[in-house]
Amino acid sequence: MLDAPAKTKLLSLDELLKLGNARVEIIDGSVVKMNAAGFIHAIVGGNIHDPLKQFVVKHNLGGVFYDGLTYLMLSDAKGLKDSFVPDISFIRLANILPMPDMSKPYPGIPDLAIEVISPGEDADDIQTKLRTYLAKGTEQVWLVYPTTKELHQYRRDNNPEIRIYHGSQTLDLADLFPGLELTTDQIFTIPEWALR
């Protein structure tokens, strides 16, 4: 007879906060160190963040956040099953939860989570995070691949479930950012100063 696997003790919010500046996520109860981001990761992330932020601010749609905001993904603070740090995220104004202590992680979920995929990231972790985002109510998840210049857009409403953008294409942003035009060319453009 096989022994039952030992149940992993979930990290509490207080324990997570005691880790200080350690760059970690909690994926399905396991603490996972985040990879260091490279230069192209930051450039591509900025190419997405900047137009989204300008559009959202102009139209008072909510908040766009760059890498660093921790989402507790509706997990119990006494035992965090999931705690993600997307590279870019958006929360609709109507969905922003009250934050009595703004120095702590956000207890909810983003409406849009964007993950810029770096070489060496674990494919199983990426897929687990994707499924968790959508299962907990995130409207869209974008997986952005700078090396292949592809953007995979997953939608919670499965309409369609996944759309893959590459080459010169305009993203379908009507559900989240009606009127904003963003193309794959804009996203994957590397400025000349970075190519020296």
pLDDT reported for residue 7: 55
Residue 158 near residue 193 (C-beta atoms within 8 A): no
Q: Read off the DSSP letter of residue 1.
A: -
Please state the length of the chain. Answer: 196
Our measurement of the distance from residue 115's CA atom to the centroid of its chain's CA atoms, rounded to an integer in Å, reads 5
Instruction: List the Cα angle 171/177/181 in 5-degree steps.
Output: 40
How big is the chain by its Cα radius of gyration, in Å? 17
Instruction: List the Cα angle 153/96/161 in 5-degree steps.
Output: 20
In which residue ranges of the chain is pLDDT below 50? 1-6
Token reading at 158: 């499965």
Whether the CA torsion 149, 44, 194, 181 is positive or negative: it is: positive
Is beta strand 140-145 parallel, antiparallel or unpaired with respect to 112-116? parallel
pLDDT reported for residue 5: 47
pTM of the predicted structure, to 2 decimals: 0.90
The architecture (CATH level 2) of 37-69+83-195 comes to: Alpha-Beta Complex (3.90)
Query: Domain boundaries in the chain?
Result: 37-69+83-195
Render pLDDT for 37-62 as a digit per residue (tens, 0 to 9).
Answer: 888 999 999 999 999 999 999 999 99
Instruction: List the Cα angle 150/116/183 in 5-degree steps.
Output: 45
Collapsing DSSP to helix, strand or coil, 39 comes out as: helix
